Amino acid sequence: MLRGALIGCGFFAINHLHGWRDARGAEIVAICDRSPERLRLAGEQFGIAARYSDAAEMLAREALDFVDIATTAPSHRALAELAASHGLAVICQKPFAPILADAKAIVASCDKAGVPLMVHENFRWQSPMQKVKAVLQAGEIGEVFWGRVSFRSAYDVFSGQPYLAEGERFIVEDLGIHALDIARFLLGDALNVSARIKRVNPRIRGEDVATMLLDHGNGVASIVDCSYATQNETELFPQTLLEIDGSKGTLRLGANYQMTVTASGKTRHVDVSPPLLPWASRPWHNIQESVALIQQHWVDCLDQKREPQTSGRDNLKTFALVEAVYLSAREGRTVHMSELLT
Ligand code: NAD
Ligand code: 89V
Please tell me the distance between residue 173's alpha carbon and the centre of ligand 2 in angstroms.
10
Rounded to the nearest 10°, the torsion over CA 73, 78, 80, 85 is 180
Across the beta sheet with 117-120, the strand order is 51-52, 26-32, 2-7, 66-69, 89-93, 117-120
**pLDDT tier for residue 122 given thresholds of 50, 70 and 90:** very high
Query: Which ligand 1 atom is the nearest neighbour of the CA of 121?
Result: 41
Rounded distance from Cα 178 to ligand 2 centre (Å): 9
Identify which of 302, 303, 277 has the alpha carbon closest to the alpha carbon of residue 292: 277
> Which ligand has the minimum distance to the alpha carbon of residue 122?
1
CA 153 to ligand 2 centroid distance, Å: 12
Average pLDDT of 145-158?
98
Residue 32 near ligand 1, beta carbon < 6 Å = yes
Query: In sequence order, which residues have a C-beta less than 8 Å from that of residue 43 and are 6 or more positions away?
Result: 9, 31, 49, 51
Is the model's pLDDT at 342 over the cut of 90?
Answer: no
Looking at residue 85, its pLDDT comes to 98
Over residues 280-302, the mean pLDDT reads: 98
Mean pLDDT of 120-124: 98
Could you give the CA distance from residue 65 to residue 48 in angstroms, rounded to a whole number?
A: 17
Nearest ligand to the CA atom of 294: 1
The pLDDT score that the predictor gives to residue 88 is: 98
- Domains of the chain: residue spans and CATH: 2-115 (3.40.50.720), 124-281+318-341 (3.30.360.10)
CB 69 within 8 A of CB 93: yes
Q: What is the pLDDT of residue 123?
A: 98
Going by CA atoms, what residue is nearest to atom 38 of ligand 1?
A: 12
Average pLDDT over residues 141-168: 98
CA 187 to centroid of chain Cα atoms: 17
- The phi and psi torsions of 89 (rounded to 5 degrees) equal -65, 150
- Ligand 1: centre distance to CA 12 (Å): 6
Q: Is the CB of 287 under 6 A from ligand 1?
A: yes
Residue 107 burial by Cβ neighbours in a 10 Å radius (0-12, 13-18, 19+):
buried
